[in-house]
A = this chain, B = another copy of it.
Amino acid sequence: MADSKIIKSKYFFEEDFTEELAEVSANKYADWNKKELKVVGKPVSRVDGYDKVSGSAVFTFDVILPNMAHAKTLRCPHPHAKIKRINTKKAEKIPGVLGILTYENAPKISWYGKSFLFDPHLRYEGDEVAFVAAENERIAEQALKLIEVDYEILPFVTDAAEAMKKDAPKLYDDGNIRGGKPSVYERGDIDKGFEEASAVAEQTYKTQVEIHNPTEPHCSVVNWDGDYLTIWDSTQGVFSVRDRVADVLKLPASRVRVIKKYMGGAFGAKLEAGKYTVMAALLARKIGRPVRIALDRREMNLSVGNRPDSVQKLKGGATKDGRLTALYQYSYGAAGAHPAGAGCSWALRTMYLCPNVKTEEYTVYINAGRARPFRAPGHVQGFFALEALIDELAEKIGMDPLEFRIKNHTDRDQVFDAPYTSKLLLDAYRVAAEAIGWKNRPQPAGSDAGPLKRGIGMSSQIWWGGGGPPAYATLKLNRDGSVRIIAGSQDIGTGTYTILAQVASEVLEIPMEKVEVLLGDTAVAPYCGSSGGSTTAPSVSPAVRDAAEQMKAKLLSGAAAHLNVSESQLVYRNGVIHTKGKNKKSMTIREIARKMGERVLVTTGKREANPDGYAINSFGVQFAEVEVDTETGKVSVKKIVAAYDIGRVLNPKTLENQIHGGIIQGLGFALFEERIIDRNTGKVLTTNLHDYKLPTVKDTPQIDIRIVSKGDSKISNTGVKGVGEPAMIPTPAAIGNAVYNAIGKRIKSLPITPDKVLTALQS
């Protein structure tokens, strides 16, 4: 179904790009841009495809341990309250209930900086009150109902603007503004910038709270062997969870093993250790049994993170000939009930050449679930506002919006004043504009006849894309030439298992079937960071290449010693080493290993440091074509053209999966998804996937992907830049601009729902 809508992607590797490909720098191995690759860059199917499709893949949700108990969490039904009294006696008496933790019997563990793992001060609907383990989930749920809690109901605030007022109910003694003041950034002279401007645009844009809602719920299974704790966790960062759990439980890190094999998505909501994980560990130790805790959809919508909302007052100035002279942003967003970041100004600071910039951002506490990083945190919101402003400025000076962007293109990072290692955004603009038919868009905006009005809009994007150290990979070569890669990274559904196997297969010239990858196990893997921020492929693939190249060198040196020739006389081909010239002699890996007295050869590779003095970013642009039903207000996205400079493509299939996912998620944010809180009760109204609408295959547009980059030889030996977040960043902005192009009215707050469209049309 969805496939039929996808236009075959194109990869541009021509030599006529604007930028010369950089010389090798940090990369001590042969530049992959200069040779033909056999496996890397090819559309290899996922190595874990069988497991996933057959159902044999074990997600954390599927882990079963002998004698495992099941846990459920009692959560606060009020947006703001204190526990006056709690009584678990009745609940404890239910047959099958094994143990209950509350703030009265649990250790006092600091959490979120200003509160505790179990805290009698409850700051949002969903805050943890008690944790029950029982023989099964049904019994645990029954027990929750029998726990008696007397709450002191406190006044609440669920809106950031109201929370900023002096007389608002306070979540913390020192007030609702995080740090007590805004975070300010300034360069140049903002007032002078506006003085120089021929045209000024000024608007307030708003974005809503979005919930991550990955497919697999948050889940942990914990097991103690003496003082040794093993945690199977649905997490983006096994080491991050390990270190946090070890810290709060006062265990050596070596005594905590965190394992994650497969995961059904996260989008940022599983970057840190969950309270539920630590609660399960505490209760497992108490009851002497393994404990499984899996959150349900309601809990996921209440308590494990969200993309914070934003109110962004933007002002921009430009000269008549299209130079940006000043950009200003005043914004605030809700962190929720606990410290979290809610900034969204990075887009404005870095996307375009602009000498005078100022941003002021407030992060505000409200009585609602805490914000967490969500696929391109800040950028998705920030670009929606920035790219609308850019369009408005272009219109004011009578310039084509694409031309305006090209005028303000820069090869230097504006904040750090450093050149980019590579930036092929102009090429991306060119190929994408052509593919969408930019020149044929309705002009002026709203001029399509209707009643189904067509419109085309665009948005640029920038994202840190280079990854970096520390990231390591261990490679074990068996005598039969098969290989095991072990890395501390994790495959969160994006294809990490596959791309790392490709890199080893490429270097060692062995078939993919002979490469196995083990990820997500702190006990056995060298360190890698969390899988977030589009860093996994750029960070870990070079470590694998390094390990594989070291292995090849080891084999060559072993063969040279045995054949009594210099290494330069040897050729490595398809996992076999030959001498050059006539009377060829050859050695297989098995033979070399035997001669070296080895059964298994091991190397450890690392991600080298990024080059000094450079900024590394992924760049891209999306063009959206929409159709707005002027009678119902419904917006349909018909097509997205996405063009990217993301360095080397390791695997077109997994790359396209990422871009499709990002676009669909961006579309959901643009049109449907929104956490809604009843202002009168302070309670969340959207706690299931009926009330909180996610996009489905029926909402999916045609997607046309154009890749304009080869490997970025400056950054690493694989030259990969990240794409996970870049895929989503420009979608809402492009759709917003396309809606404007279709109807001639700007919807300045997301999501662009039919009622907002109809209201705008009537204005």
CA distance A599 to B607 in the complex (A): 13
CA distance A604 to B470 in the complex (A): 18
Q: Using Cβ atoms and an 8 Å threshold, which residues of chain B touch A526?
A: 476, 600, 602
Residue of B at shortest CB range from A518?
A: B523
Q: Which of A253, A604, A609 has the most CB of B within 10 A?
A: A253
**A254 contacts chain B at the CB level, 8 A cutoff:** yes
Q: Which of A56, A254, A515, A597 has the most CB of B within 10 A?
A: A254
**A488 contacts chain B at the CB level, 8 A cutoff:** yes
With A51-B226, A226-B51 known as contacts, the answer to whether A527 contacts B254 (CB < 8 A) is: no
**A54 contacts chain B at the CB level, 8 A cutoff:** yes
CA distance A513 to B254 in the complex (A): 9
Q: Are A252 and B64 in contact (CB-based, < 8 A)?
A: no
Q: Are A469 and B600 in contact (CB-based, < 8 A)?
A: no
Q: Are B599 and A239 in contact (CB-based, < 8 A)?
A: yes
**A521 contacts chain B at the CB level, 8 A cutoff:** yes
**A479 contacts chain B at the CB level, 8 A cutoff:** yes
Residue of B at shortest CB range from A63?
A: B66
**A413 contacts chain B at the CB level, 8 A cutoff:** no
Q: Which of A227, A239, A470, A476 has the most CB of B within 10 A?
A: A476
Q: Are A600 and B515 in contact (CB-based, < 8 A)?
A: no
**A115 contacts chain B at the CB level, 8 A cutoff:** no
Q: What 0/1 readout, one digit per residue, does chain A (226-253) give for beta carbons within 8 Å of chain B?
A: 1110000000000100010010000011
**A409 contacts chain B at the CB level, 8 A cutoff:** no
Q: Are A226 and B50 in contact (CB-based, < 8 A)?
A: yes
Q: Using Cβ atoms and an 8 Å threshold, which residues of chain B touch A482?
A: 252-255
Q: Are B479 and A599 in contact (CB-based, < 8 A)?
A: no
Q: Are A514 and B469 in contact (CB-based, < 8 A)?
A: no
Q: Are B225 and A51 in contact (CB-based, < 8 A)?
A: yes
The A104-128 residues at the B interface (CB cut-off 8 A) are none
Q: Using Cβ atoms and an 8 Å threshold, which residues of chain B touch A597?
A: 469-470, 609
CA distance A253 to B589 in the complex (A): 13
- Minimum CB–CB distance from A66 to chain B (whole Å) comes to 5
Q: Are B253 and A480 in contact (CB-based, < 8 A)?
A: yes
With A54-B226, A254-B514, A516-B228 known as contacts, the answer to whether A524 contacts B486 (CB < 8 A) is: yes
CA distance A472 to B255 in the complex (A): 22
Neighbour of A474 across the interface among B474, B514, B521, B529, CB < 8 A: B474
**A140 contacts chain B at the CB level, 8 A cutoff:** no
Q: Using Cβ atoms and an 8 Å threshold, which residues of chain B touch A521?
A: 524
With A470-B597, A602-B472, A602-B604 known as contacts, the answer to whether A516 contacts B225 (CB < 8 A) is: no
Q: Are A252 and B51 in contact (CB-based, < 8 A)?
A: no
- Minimum CB–CB distance from A513 to chain B (whole Å) comes to 6
**A598 contacts chain B at the CB level, 8 A cutoff:** yes
Q: What 0/1 readout, one digit per residue, does chain A (517-538) give for beta carbons within 8 Å of chain B?
A: 0100101111101000000000
Q: Are B56 and A226 in contact (CB-based, < 8 A)?
A: yes
CA distance A518 to B486 in the complex (A): 15
With A470-B598, A474-B474 known as contacts, the answer to whether A225 contacts B57 (CB < 8 A) is: yes
CA distance A600 to B246 in the complex (A): 15
Q: Are B484 and A514 in contact (CB-based, < 8 A)?
A: no
How many chain A residues touch B (Cβ–Cβ < 8 Å)?
54
Q: Are B472 and A254 in contact (CB-based, < 8 A)?
A: no
- Minimum CB–CB distance from A658 to chain B (whole Å) comes to 23
**A753 contacts chain B at the CB level, 8 A cutoff:** no
Neighbour of A483 across the interface among B254, B476, B527, B598, CB < 8 A: B254
Q: Are B514 and A252 in contact (CB-based, < 8 A)?
A: yes
**A478 contacts chain B at the CB level, 8 A cutoff:** yes
- Minimum CB–CB distance from A449 to chain B (whole Å) comes to 55
Q: Using Cβ atoms and an 8 Å threshold, which residues of chain B touch A58?
A: 225
Q: Using Cβ atoms and an 8 Å threshold, which residues of chain B touch A523?
A: 484, 486, 516, 518, 524
CA distance A451 to B531 in the complex (A): 79
Q: Using Cβ atoms and an 8 Å threshold, which residues of chain B touch A604?
A: 602, 604
- Minimum CB–CB distance from A488 to chain B (whole Å) comes to 7
CA distance A677 to B253 in the complex (A): 55
Residue of B at shortest CB range from A515?
A: B254
- Minimum CB–CB distance from A444 to chain B (whole Å) comes to 54
Q: What 0/1 readout, one digit per residue, does chain A (243-274) give for beta carbons within 8 Å of chain B?
A: 10010000011110000000000000000000
A-B contact pairs, 23 of them (CB 8 A): A54-B226, A56-B225, A58-B225, A64-B66, A239-B600, A243-B479, A253-B480, A254-B478, A254-B483, A254-B516, A255-B482, A255-B516, A470-B600, A472-B600, A474-B602, A486-B524, A516-B523, A526-B600, A526-B602, A527-B598, A527-B599, A527-B600, A529-B599
Sorted nearest first, the 5 A-B pairs with minimum C-beta distance are: A252-B482, A527-B600, A524-B524, A254-B482, A50-B226
Give the interface of A toward B (CB within 8 A).
50-51, 54, 56-58, 62, 64, 66, 224-228, 239, 243, 246, 252-255, 469-470, 472, 474, 476, 478-484, 486, 488, 513-516, 518, 521, 523-527, 529, 597-600, 602, 604, 609
Identify 19 new A-B residue pairs, CB closer than 8 A, beyond the known A50-B227, A62-B66, A527-B598: A50-B226, A54-B226, A56-B225, A58-B225, A243-B479, A246-B480, A252-B480, A252-B513, A252-B514, A254-B484, A254-B514, A474-B602, A476-B527, A488-B600, A516-B523, A526-B602, A527-B599, A529-B599, A597-B609
